[in-house]
């Protein structure tokens, strides 16, 4: 009884931070900094083709479509800890393989797949450690905020490390080794801190769900997922991901070729985005607690299209002061906390499948958008120029905003009305 009482208090008044959350710190450094700043220019330099860099990033994104399967597997076999740790160690191994591959095309392709699956694994199960732990609403919001804040913290640190490495004149092989060692350290911390949090996960659903709701979330069909409000939300995530991740897939090529930035300045922009993103997550968390996840997500979608459209216009004008370009880029990056933080809450809110499956489908949708954005962006860069990627993002982001306003919000208002009547 005493243990149950202590556990219940922990679910209501526990710490906002737990060590396993460094998985998102590693993800922020590993994907948002190391992958985006190293792989596109590395592949472009090795092959002489931006399209090839786009293919590699698209392959990574296609592999990340495995997120729904990974989330479902974790739920079915209570393997959340296994999947999370495999993702962390997988990223470390992939960077080490890049360091010793010497540009081998087969290794580059296999590494892209390994990175994609590893990133999908972390994204699919990490939020489940919070949203399916039976926490109070207040503690859940605190932990989701902390988890997501660690992403831009890692991005800031990773960008700073690569900025230093570029200034020091280090080779790509040396930079990949730095990334591998960094990720191995984060992976070890996560490995030794996930046992207790994993034991708290309630696979079938939160305690507030009745038997019918739990049973519904155990069933699964494509129709149940796709032809629903949840399916509409997945479509929104795809278009939004094309805009943001299509840009990110070539960011290390876009800034130098469109705006004349150096490698060090590009790394600085990424690090600055990470710092502002930390602030953004706290703002988004406070806003979400007051107004709900859908409102926050809408704000993030608006910020995203404003930022990327501004960059596209500045790219056409040309010869703009660096500060103006940096401000436009930071508006785009600042949209990320407002789009990222509400994702699991909106997904679980509208899904009729388990939390692990829902977050897996959310991650998979983002991966589909990343795949399309990277592949199409690379082709456009070769055929038209790198600024065309920004126009691709503007169009895709505009479609996402229209779907939010005319699709997601009517469903949200209906949901709120039903909750008020209950």
**All domains of the chain, ordered by start, with CATH?**
15-421 (1.20.1250.20)
Cβ count within 10 A of residue 89: 17
pLDDT at 219: 52
CA distances to 67, 314, 340, 351 from 224, in Å? 18, 43, 24, 9
Q: How many residues does the chain have?
A: 422
Helices 251-259 & 293-317 angle (0-180, nearest 10): 40
| Mean pLDDT value of segment 153-161 | 90
**Helix ranges restricted to H, 102-228:** 105-125, 128-131, 137-167, 172-191, 195-199, 211-218, 222-226
pTM for this prediction: 0.75
Q: Give the position of tokens 């199960």.
A: 125
Q: What is the mean pLDDT of the chain?
A: 87
pLDDT at 218: 47
Q: Give the position of tokens 């990343």.
A: 370
pLDDT band per the 50, 70, 90 thresholds, residue 1: very low
204 burial level (CB within 10 Å; 0-12, 13-18, 19+): middle
pLDDT at 154: 92
pLDDT over 80 (residue 264): yes
Calpha distance 141→311 (Å, rounded): 33
pLDDT over 50 (residue 132): yes
pLDDT over 80 (residue 224): no
Tokens of 160: 């700073």
DSSP structural state of residue 1: -
Question: By the 8 A CB rule, do 157 and 270 touch?
Answer: no
pLDDT over 80 (residue 113): yes
Tokens of 342: 């509400």
Spell out the residues 6+ positions from residue 185 whose beta carbon is closer than 8 angstroms to its own: none
Does residue 398 or residue 53 have the better pLDDT? 398
Please spell the DSSP secondary structure of 62-110, one letter per residue: HHGGGHHHHHHHHHHHT-HHHHHHHHHHHHHHHHHHHHHHTT-HHHHHH
Calpha distance 150→148 (Å, rounded): 5
Tokens of 330: 């930071």
| Mean pLDDT value of segment 205-227 | 54
pLDDT digits (tens, 9 = 90+) for 160-199: 999 899 889 999 999 999 999 999 999 999 999 999 999 9
| Mean pLDDT value of segment 194-216 | 64
Calpha distance 392→369 (Å, rounded): 12
pLDDT band per the 50, 70, 90 thresholds, residue 117: very high
Most confident of 6-10, 104-108, 167-171, 214-218: 167-171
pLDDT band per the 50, 70, 90 thresholds, residue 12: low
pLDDT at 214: 47
Tokens of 361: 């489908």
pLDDT over 60 (residue 11): no
Does residue 116 or residue 357 have the better pLDDT? 116
pLDDT digits (tens, 9 = 90+) for 302-325: 999 999 999 999 999 988 889 999
pLDDT at 208: 42
pLDDT at 207: 41
49-63, 345-359, 379-393, range with the lowest pLDDT: 345-359
pLDDT over 90 (residue 270): no
pLDDT digits (tens, 9 = 90+) for 62-110: 888 888 889 889 988 999 999 999 999 999 999 999 898 866 778 888 9
Spell out the residues 6+ positions from residue 381 whose beta carbon is closer than 8 angstroms to its own: 50, 51, 54, 250, 253, 388, 389
373 burial level (CB within 10 Å; 0-12, 13-18, 19+): buried
Does residue 216 or residue 191 have the better pLDDT? 191
């Amino acid at each position: 009884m005493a243990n149950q009482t202590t556990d219940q208090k922990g679910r209501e008044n526990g710490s906002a931070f737990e060590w396993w959350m460094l998985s998102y710190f590693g993800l922020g450094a590993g994907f948002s900094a190391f992958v985006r700043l190293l792989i596109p220019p590395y592949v472009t330099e090795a092959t002489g083709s931006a399209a090839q860099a786009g293919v590699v990033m698209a392959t990574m994104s296609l592999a990340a479509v495995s997120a729904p399967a990974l989330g479902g597997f974790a739920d079915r076999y209570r393997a959340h800890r296994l999947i999370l740790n495999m993702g962390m160690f997988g990223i470390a191994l992939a960077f080490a393989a890049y360091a010793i591959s010497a540009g081998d095309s087969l290794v580059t392709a296999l590494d892209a797949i390994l990175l994609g699956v590893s990133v999908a694994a972390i994204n699919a199960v990490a939020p489940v450690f919070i949203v399916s732990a039976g926490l109070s609403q207040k503690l859940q919001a605190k932990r989701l905020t902390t988890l997501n804040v660690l992403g831009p913290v890692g991005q800031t640190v990773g960008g700073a490390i690569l900025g230093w490495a570029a200034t020091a004149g280090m080779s790509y092989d040396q930079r990949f080794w730095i990334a591998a060692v960094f990720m191995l350290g984060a992976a070890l911390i996560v490995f030794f801190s996930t046992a207790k949090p994993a034991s708290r996960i309630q696979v079938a659903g939160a305690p507030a769900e009745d038997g019918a709701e739990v049973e519904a979330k155990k069933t699964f069909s494509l129709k149940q997922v796709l032809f629903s409000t949840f399916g509409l939300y997945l479509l929104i995530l795809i278009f939004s991901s094309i805009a943001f991740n299509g840009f990110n897939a070539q960011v290390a090529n876009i800034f130098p070729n469109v705006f004349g930035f150096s490698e060090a300045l590009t790394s600085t922009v990424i690090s600055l985005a990470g710092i502002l993103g930390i602030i953004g997550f706290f703002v988004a968390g406070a806003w979400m607690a007051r107004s709900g996840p859908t409102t926050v997500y809408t704000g993030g979608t608006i910020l995203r299209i404003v930022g990327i459209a501004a960059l596209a216009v500045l790219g056409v004008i040309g010869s703009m002061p660096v500060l103006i370009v940096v401000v436009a880029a930071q508006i785009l990056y600042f949209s990320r906390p407002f789009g990222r933080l509400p994702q699991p809450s909106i997904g679980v809110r509208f899904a009729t499948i388990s939390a692990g499956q829902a977050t897996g489908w959310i991650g998979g949708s983002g991966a589909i958008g990343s795949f399309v954005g990277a592949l199409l962006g690379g082709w456009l860069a070769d055929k038209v120029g790198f600024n065309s990627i920004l126009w691709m993002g503007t169009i895709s982001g505009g479609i996402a905003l229209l779907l939010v306003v005319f699709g997601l919000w009517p469903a949200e208002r209906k949901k709120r009305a039903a909750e008020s009547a209950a």
